[in-house]
């Protein structure tokens, strides 16, 4: 049968082409050193806020797992805190504001590249509240 409609659903319109070109240009013109410095500063803010909790350890995953952004892993003993990482993740997500973290291994991972300026303090305070128990 002569079918000429194959691929019709895969066509790209002008707006998508322009958006892709603009996004690519923005990425290539971005100062990535500054972007990483901002992410490192956010990690430092959260790490400092949790520093008074001797049972909590933090680690920037970026040096060993390089990628386009930094992540902070927070580990703690469940028996000391009284909640596992799934429970704390759900409590943070249900809070106001809703904070999404990734329960991984024996702790939580925070992806700081998604935060706007100042939000790292909100995340740090919420984490401290849940981990201080």
Query: What is the tens place of the pLDDT at every residue in 51-107?
Result: 999 999 999 998 777 678 899 999 999 999 999 999 999 999 999 999 999 998 889
State the pLDDT at residue 12. 82
Secondary structure element (H or E) that encloses residue 11, with its range = none
CA atoms of 47 and 123, how far apart (whole Å)? 11
The contacts found for 118-121 with CB under 8 angstroms, 24 or more apart, are 120/41, 120/42, 120/45, 120/46, 121/45, 121/49
**How are strands ordered across the β-sheet holding 107-111?**
57-60, 71-75, 107-111, 102-104
Q: Dihedrals φ, ψ of 13, to 5°?
A: -90, 175
Q: d(Cα 50, Cα 121) in Å, to the nearest integer?
A: 11
pTM for the model = 0.82
Give the Cα separation of 78 and 108 in Å (integer): 12
Q: Report the mean per-residue pLDDT for the chain.
A: 91
């Amino acid at each position: 049968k002569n079918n000429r409609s194959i691929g019709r659903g895969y066509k790209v319109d002008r707006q998508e082409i322009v958006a892709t070109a603009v996004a690519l240009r923005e990425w290539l013109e971005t100062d990535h050193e500054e972007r990483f410095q901002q992410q490192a500063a956010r990690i430092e803010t959260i790490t400092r806020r949790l520093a008074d909790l001797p049972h909590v350890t933090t680690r920037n995953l970026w040096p060993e797992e390089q990628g386009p952004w930094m992540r902070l892993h927070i580990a703690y003993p469940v028996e000391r805190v009284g909640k596992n990482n799934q429970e704390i993740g759900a409590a943070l997500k249900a809070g106001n504001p809703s904070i999404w973290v990734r329960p991984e291994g024996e702790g939580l991972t925070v992806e700081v590249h998604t935060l706007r300026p100042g939000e790292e303090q909100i995340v740090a305070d919420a984490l401290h509240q849940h981990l201080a128990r």
